[in-house]
Structure 1
């Protein structure tokens, strides 16, 4: 299944709630979901909306209907496409990966988002990368990515720490007025223009993790671009968009957190991996 402007948002939200409940163990593999009336009452939704969400979950291989039993959770429900640890530029680019255009490579203090998802202490210094993903000359997504503090990465995933440092010695990046707005206090990573690679931080992490197991969890919400992001993507401020948040871990330790903004008309985002 892919999220697009054609999908009705209430059903998407309901689909996500049930999928989250499956993946967090509320409805573990092999379990049977409550009956439709009971589940609709528990979730506070209408039965027609619930039925459509359940049909989509069946279609995507999360649930199976068993005669005389009801809807059961498959033994190995597929994870969301963006929970497979794969760079966004490859995930939504299909056979032709999107191009990553670096806007900003810097170091900043934690925000509410990074404090929550990277468990960063208040005075920590976090690498922050801002990029626009483009395909066929059109801006398809705006990505904000943060790495955990260097000292934590040096202990938890030293290969990623080394790869990040090496990557940031790459070509010059582009930055513009207001590039650091709304993200707390930012510092340039060195004298002169910020420098960094035309790749995503997640791509660097995946490349450095051939011997390290990664896991990821993501969330998705509907929103509007707003003025600054609209300017960066060449769209009006009131353009509808999908906001994807992602946290990647090594074991139980978060090493990367990201926000990806995909405006209406961007390539479809896989929500569940089909068989």
Structure 2
């Protein structure tokens, strides 16, 4: 995933506010059912500007921690979800409960490990990883930008060969090894490419136990992602990072960007 030149500076205030308020909710400073102080008072207590606070509060609402009640203000939900979602279900299913979402493929390629995939997929230097970039599209347009990586072919061949074969089929290629990095990837055909990598994994894992761990943070879209989603670079967004494992081996890692106005993300609390 290409880095945005100004993203680190842009996202820091909103992320810090989101995390501070979320931590206060989870540690009981703002208990379930309680009403947050007014915006001016809360901004003063936190030492931040009201516009920055408003963005963070909006993201907390979209993440299910806060609700707005007319005449009352912002209240903490009775059962605020933990950060992250643990359902091994494709986002297009989780988010498409009211209206179906379709997956539009932007890129299907093979790439070398990045810092993200080295950390989450334990990919060694020189490994070749399948990378899929997709946009989830609803009736009102693009709502989610997804970046998904699969573990190296040799790892999948050992722990989940059915997933490796399903990936090759879904990408429109022959049932053989992933194309070499030096080989240009052909443009994906719309039909076989209109599926997410997580959907491929779920479909190939019948009877196999998968474990997922996800984290949710607040950010801004940035220029490139804003262009891909048809939004302003300054649009607040929720960034979901997900890793799926077979036993103790990670087989898929993903980043999902949900801008303000995207369908609410259902959260399954872990035990």
TM-score, normalised to structure 2's length?
0.68
1:9 paired residue among 11, 18, 25: 18
Aligned to 1:23: none
CA contact (8 A) 1:242 1:262 kept: yes
1:265 paired residue among 249, 261, 264: 261
CA distance in structure 2 between the partners assigned to 1:12 and 1:257 by the alignment: 27
Shift of 1:204: 0.2
CA contact (8 A) 2:99 2:139 kept: no
Superposed CA offset, 1:206-226 (max 9, x none): 000002110100000110000
CA contact (8 A) 2:92 2:102 kept: yes
SS in 2 for 1:89: helix
CA contact (8 A) 2:101 2:137 kept: yes
Superposed CA offset, 1:203-249 (max 9, x none): 00000000211010000011000000000000011111000000000
CA distance in structure 2 between the partners assigned to 1:229 and 1:187 by the alignment: 24
Aligned to 1:144: 147
CA contact (8 A) 2:32 2:76 kept: no
Runs of at least 5 residues in structure 1 that lack an aligned partner in the other structure: 1-7, 19-38, 41-46, 63-78, 171-185
Are the structure 2 counterparts of residues 57 and 155 from structure 1 closer, same or farther at C-alpha, using a change threshold of 3 Å?
farther
Aligned length: 209
Shift of 1:58: 5.5
SS in 2 for 1:59: coil
Aligned to 1:193: 187
Match runs of 1:212-223 below 5 Å: 212-223=208-219
TM-score, normalised to structure 1's length?
0.67
1:236 paired residue among 232, 237, 242: 232
Shift of 1:272: 3.8
Shift of 1:187: 4.4
CA contact (8 A) 1:82 1:88 kept: no
Q: Does 1:87 align with 2:90?
A: yes
Are the structure 2 counterparts of residues 97 and 187 from structure 1 closer, same or farther at C-alpha, using a change threshold of 3 Å?
farther
CA distance in structure 1 between the partners assigned to 2:230 and 2:19 by the alignment: 28
SS in 2 for 1:83: coil
Shift of 1:194: 4.7
SS in 1 for 2:116: helix
Aligned to 1:177: none
Q: What is the Cα-based RMSD across aligned positions, in Å? A: 3.2
Higher mean C-alpha deviation, range 161-170 or range 242-251:
161-170
CA contact (8 A) 2:31 2:76 kept: no
Aligned to 1:224: 220
CA distance in structure 2 between the partners assigned to 1:164 and 1:241 by the alignment: 29
CA distance in structure 2 between the partners assigned to 1:109 and 1:262 by the alignment: 26
CA distance in structure 1 between the partners assigned to 2:161 and 2:228 by the alignment: 33
CA contact (8 A) 1:80 1:270 kept: no
Are the structure 2 counterparts of residues 57 and 102 from structure 1 closer, same or farther at C-alpha, using a change threshold of 3 Å?
same
CA contact (8 A) 2:32 2:77 kept: no
Are the structure 2 counterparts of residues 117 and 191 from structure 1 closer, same or farther at C-alpha, using a change threshold of 3 Å?
closer
CA distance in structure 2 between the partners assigned to 1:224 and 1:256 by the alignment: 24
Aligned to 2:110: 107
